[in-house]
Chains A and B, each alone.
Chain A
Amino acid sequence: GAGQGNIMSFFGKK
């Protein structure tokens, strides 16, 4: 099945 993405891999730390 599909894996769940991590929001931090899309939005970098400021």
Chain B
Amino acid sequence: MLEARLEQANLFKKVVDAIKDLVQDCNFDCNDSGIALQAMDNSHVALVSMMLRSESFAPFRCDRNIALGINLTSLTKVLKCAQSDDILTLKAEDAPDVVELVFESAESDRISEYSIKLMDIDQEHLGIPETDYGATISMPAAEFQRICRDLIALSESVSIECSKEGVKFACQGDIGSGAVTLRQHTNVDKPEMNVEINMSEPVSLTFSLKYLVNFCKASGLSNQVRLCLSNEVPLLVEYSLANNSHLRFYLAPKIGD
């Protein structure tokens, strides 16, 4: 059986909120290392990969591998019933028909119990190769969100170029063009504002802004976002969570000209 208690229901709420517009029906794969999810969007352009490690829960118990097939719209409805300070416990039997969600108030004696019917989801798992990226950029998540939202007003796609000059986000549209360049930057007082660029080779790739704006819905999960780029491979957009957990998005580049 699965029993996973999360001190902050809000964390799970935010994760589901961040991915629900990208993917609809997902398997939450539970085993003794934690709860993982991998799902592609309908058009097979983007891939979501979430890992909530067992250390993120207290207690965490999962005796055998269980795939919880959940519709995220249904999950969102139920998670709305949790208050942000509530403690969340996910429960399921070994061959479950439902997943149970229990919300407990830390301050009062309220206990709310919900269940969601599970779905049989035939999901293909993709093998994500270990990649030595040509450029890795860590930057404030809010800054990345702002850049994507600003540029989508002008164009459908953005080129991300990383060189020794810094990282340049540029777009061209019908009304004109826009570009934002960031250089490495250290803020001693506010390290969450740092921009760190590690580059082993110059990279230049073009991506659909619609997807990037969608990924940025995860901005509330982490102060910083990490962008990993190599020429001609998918972009990795990573939000790190506590206890070595993470929410990652992969986006296939635009190709040709």
Which A residues fall within an 8 A CB radius of B? 1-14
Contact = CB atoms under 8 A, between A and B. Distances in A.
Contacts of A9: 252
Q: For chain B, what secondary structure do more than half of its interface residues adopt (helix, strand, loop), or is it mixed?
A: loop
A4 B46 CA distance: 11
Nearest to A1: B257
B157 A2 contact: yes
Q: For chain A, what secondary structure do more than half of its interface residues adopt (helix, strand, loop), or is it mixed?
A: loop
B45 A13 contact: no
Contacts of A6: 44-45, 252
Interface of B: 40, 43-47, 124-129, 157, 206, 208, 233-234, 250-257
Contacts of A10: 233-234, 252
Contacts of A1: 257
B206 to A, nearest CB: 6
A13 B124 contact: yes
A4 B224 CA distance: 27
